[in-house]
Homo-oligomer: A and B are copies of this chain.
C-alpha cells in the first residue's frame, strides 16, 4: 500500500469517465483506505454530513462537484427551471454542514458562475459548471503548492519538522498547507524527519497526518501532544509548521487547540514557528485574536470518544475548546500563496493583500 505517491490519497476527485465524485472516506482512517464513488446529491450530502470528507478546502471542492452532479442530468427546458433546480440542490447540500464556511462559499461561487452564463444553453451551462468546479480544485492546489514552495525556501535539507493537527493533502485539493513544504521538499529529496502531534481529543495528527505522511513515504514519527517539549529539547526539531483557521490583522492566529502551546515551546527552544495561511483565512477586519470566538465542543470527545470504556468518572467537568489563539509575537512568519509575511504583521499582511489584488 505504501508507494510514495500522495496522488493516490486525493481526498476529492472527479472521474470524468464515469461521472462520479471520488472521495477518500476519512471516517475509516487510519485503519482502512476506501474510496467512495458518488453520483447522487443525497450520497454527497451524506458524505459531507458524516465527515467522510473534511477539511475546509476539500469540503468546498466536494460541494462544487456535488452541485454540478446534482444538476448534470437536469432536463429543464429553460434557465429559470434549471436555476430553480440548482438553488434547491444548493440549499440541500448546504444543509449538510451549515456552519462550514467553505461549503457555502463554493456553492455561492457555482451559482454566480451559472448566473454569469445564463444566456448560454443549458448544456453549455452544465459544461461551464464542471469547468468551474475543476477551477476551484485547481486554484486550491495552486494555493497549496505555492505555500509549499514559499515554505520550503525557508528550510534546509535533513532537518526535523514538527506539526500539529492535520493541515495536509487530506484536507485540500492536494499538498495541504502546513504539510505542503514537507511534500514538496520530499519530492526534491529534502529528507525531512517529521514529528506529528497526535492532537487530542480528535487525534487528527495520529489518524490523518501520520497516515498521509507515511503513505507518501515521508519519515514520520507520532508523538503525544505533551511530548513536543522533549523532542524539541533533544534538538530533533528545527522548524514547526501549522495550518490555521483564521488569522487576525495583527497576526494573531486561531488554529486547532494546542497550537499556542507548541508556539510557546518553540520560542523557549529557539525554533522558528511558521503558520501556513491561504489568504482566504486571513481576516483583516478582525483586529486581534481577542475578536476570534472559540467554540467549545462536546465533553464526551475528551472522556469517551474512541475508547472502549469512559476514561473519566461520570460527573467530572470537562473543558473542551476546539481552537486556541497563538499570539503574533510567537510566530516567526506567516506563509501565504502571495508571499511570506513577517512582523510587524499589521503591515506585512496588508502588503500580502495588495499583491493579491494586483495579481487577480
Contacts and interface: CB of A to CB of B under 8 A. Distances in A.
Contact of A227 (B206, B219, B258): B258
Interface string A30-72: 1100000000000000000000000000000000000000000
B258 A319 contact: no
A206 B257 contact: no
A307 B200 CA distance: 13
Given A201-B224, A226-B257, A214 B321 contact: no
B313 A210 contact: yes
- Count this chain's copies in the assembly: 2
A315 B221 CA distance: 10
B261 A229 contact: yes
Contact of A221 (B29, B258, B317): B317
B260 A211 contact: no
Interface string A300-341: 001100111111110111111100110000000000000000
B30 A313 contact: yes
A222 to B, nearest CB: 5
Contacts of A316: 30, 210-211, 214, 220-222
A258 B231 contact: no
Contacts of A198: 200, 302, 311-312
A207 interface: yes
A182 interface: no
A225 B302 CA distance: 11
A132 interface: no
Nearest to A203: B311
Contacts of A6: none
A230 B312 contact: no
A271 interface: no
Contacts of A81: none
A317 to B, nearest CB: 4
Contact of A226 (B29, B258, B303): B258
A238 B9 CA distance: 46
In this complex, the member of A203, A261, A318 whose beta carbon has the largest number of chain B beta carbons within 10 angstroms is A261
Interface string A185-213: 00000000001011111010011001100
A164 to B, nearest CB: 8
A127 to B, nearest CB: 40
Contacts of A199: 226
A214 B302 CA distance: 17
B226 A200 contact: yes
A293 to B, nearest CB: 13
